[in-house]
Structure 1
Amino acid sequence: MTLYFNLRASDGSLHSPCVCCAELEIQLEVLNSFVALGNVLVAAYLIDDEGIRIDLPVGAFDGLPIVNCLRNLTKEYQQLLGICHGAK
């Protein structure tokens, strides 16, 4: 999966980097890292392995770390699936 994004730096210049990484959490963390440094995220989207574009909501990236929150959410989800599966 490849992350493409446009950001405006504090000097007003526009940059359009991309990041290729298999882990979505890392890509989201990259966006938050750029925002934390004072850049303004203008647009962001992912292109998956099948070539499908997934637009990301730029307002969701506030510069705060997200990886630990996503990992905790994943653990809770897996625990719930285990509980539901075990109840059958």
Structure 2
Amino acid sequence: MSSTEGEISAHSFYSQTFEDHMVMLNTCVIYGNQLLSARLICSDKSRTPLPVEAFDGVPIGPHTQALEREYQQILRT
């Protein structure tokens, strides 16, 4: 991550929910930081790269909740 002053730093965040991770990345952008890379590391040590351009500072919660509702509806049919 690059700060508004141009300082580059690495950060890690732990949560059991995917949504918490998305919120944290968006929060970094909201505060003026630039994400240089992002990835999820699973308990088996596998790494999933995330597209940093997807994190624009706009809250993602309502979108993931709507997607979850649609997914649940599909599973019920």
TM-score, normalising length: structure 2 = 0.95
What is aligned with 1:59?
Answer: 53
Equivalent pairs counted in the alignment come to 77
TM-score, normalising length: structure 1 = 0.84
Partner of residue 63 from structure 2, selected from 66, 69, 73: 69
Question: CA RMSD for the aligned pairs?
Answer: 0.7
1:2-43 CA-to-partner distances (Å, cap 9, x unmatched) read xxxxx1000011121100110010101100011011110000
Identity in percent: 35
Spell out structure 1 runs of 4+ moving beyond 6 A: none
In structure 1, stretches of 5+ residues that fail to align are 1-6, 84-88
CA distance in 2, matches of 1:53, 1:21: 15
In structure 2, stretches of 5+ residues that fail to align are none
Which one has a larger percent strand, Structure 1 or Structure 2? 1
CA distance in 1, matches of 2:69, 2:24: 22
